[in-house]
A and B are shown apart, each in its own frame.
Chain A
């Protein structure tokens, strides 16, 4: 049962805060995101910078980088994900406790970036794990990371815990783990998790481009 937003605003103006359990929990979850402590490439330098005194990620409750996935809520994929590293990233994601969120930071983590045409770089970590926020840039500045973090916080605050539109971690039918790819003879096998990665197929007319 939701409170009428107009009524809530009027009450807030007179000094009475009205909330629901869902809002309260989401507020708590969004205000203490603990990232997993790992960096893959140069984006990690910007991530480290964002946690230091000048940019001070602690203002948003996300400075406690955890060295163990058991204590982490947030995975910041900061940098180039090579095909050799992809199974480890997916395994770490699987080992994190629910609820968990993923930020793809930088062009490489989003799409492979400058190495998209290369033979050994994964063309986007969203092929294997569900990404909540993408931060473009090569590398993104610390401010961009903070902006991405705030965007994620807003997303968490809007999450539903019940009903058909509930969040992934509240859905008992959502898969608990993402399948871990393996290094095959020529490429990682499988090349993508079709359950979460289904790009639109480009349809071209027959004989159109001659």
Chain B
């Protein structure tokens, strides 16, 4: 150590610290190394612990999908019809509308004409989206083509 300071005496100003951290991205590298080492180290420790003390206990039910205790009915990667997501989006129109309508209704009597107009514009935008979806025929549910259902297990 070059710069050991006596008590009460300020250490001499050197630029040694700057020279040690020669590359500006070195701290990022160290950060990534630590971020890798901590989880990998704990995983390795867990593996060592397993070898020494805790035997693996595998089983068919244990490795099965979790469906709240009942036997899984279908494969976990089941597919949803894409129209489901459209319905979800359209539901958001009403959902968001409710969230904003409640404070609007509560403050209705104290609103200035300008605020009232803005709120109406907001409602109009949402209603417009709904009308657009309606005109496109998105509100009629099309029954998806029958796909074979994969039953899990044997």
Which one, B54, B55, B62, B68, contacts A94 given CB within 8 A? B62
Which one, B59, B60, B61, B66, contacts A70 given CB within 8 A? B66
By a CB distance below 8 angstroms, the chain A residues around B58 are 176
Contact B53 A94 (CB under 8 A): no
Contact A180 B69 (CB under 8 A): no
Contact B66 A170 (CB under 8 A): no
Complex interface residues of chain B between 46 and 88 (CB less than 8 A to chain A): 53-55, 57-62, 64, 66, 68-71
For A168-210 the 0/1 string (1 means CB < 8 A from B) is 0111101011001000000000000000000000000000000
Chain B interface, DSSP helix/strand/loop, else mixed? loop
Contact B66 A176 (CB under 8 A): no
By a CB distance below 8 angstroms, the chain B residues around A92 are 69
Contact B55 A177 (CB under 8 A): no
Task: Select from chain A the residue with minimum beta-carbon distance to B58.
Answer: A176
Contact A95 B64 (CB under 8 A): yes
Closest approach, in angstroms, between the C-beta of B56 and any C-beta of chain A?
8
| B58, B61, B66, B70 pick with most chain A CB within 10 angstroms | B61
Per the CB 8 Å criterion, the residue count for chain B at the interface is: 15
Known contacts A177-B59, A177-B60, A180-B61; is-contact A89 B69 (Cβ 8 Å): yes
Which one, B55, B59, B62, B69, contacts A170 given CB within 8 A? B55
By a CB distance below 8 angstroms, the chain A residues around B61 are 91, 94-95, 177, 180
Q: When chains A and B are docked, how far (Å) is the Cα of A99 from the Cα of B57?
A: 10
Check: A69 CB closer than 8 A to any chain B CB.
Answer: yes
Check: A132 CB closer than 8 A to any chain B CB.
Answer: no
By a CB distance below 8 angstroms, the chain B residues around A70 are 66
By a CB distance below 8 angstroms, the chain A residues around B62 are 94-95, 176-177
By a CB distance below 8 angstroms, the chain A residues around B68 are 88
Contact B54 A98 (CB under 8 A): yes
By a CB distance below 8 angstroms, the chain A residues around B57 are 98, 169, 174, 176-177
Closest approach, in angstroms, between the C-beta of A116 and any C-beta of chain B?
24
Task: Select from chain A the residue with minimum beta-carbon distance to B50.
Answer: A98
Known contacts A98-B54, A161-B53; is-contact A88 B59 (Cβ 8 Å): no
Q: Would you list 15 pairs from A and B whose C-beta atoms are within 8 A, ordered by A residue?
A: A68-B66, A88-B68, A89-B69, A91-B70, A95-B62, A95-B64, A98-B54, A162-B53, A169-B57, A174-B57, A176-B58, A176-B62, A177-B59, A177-B60, A177-B62
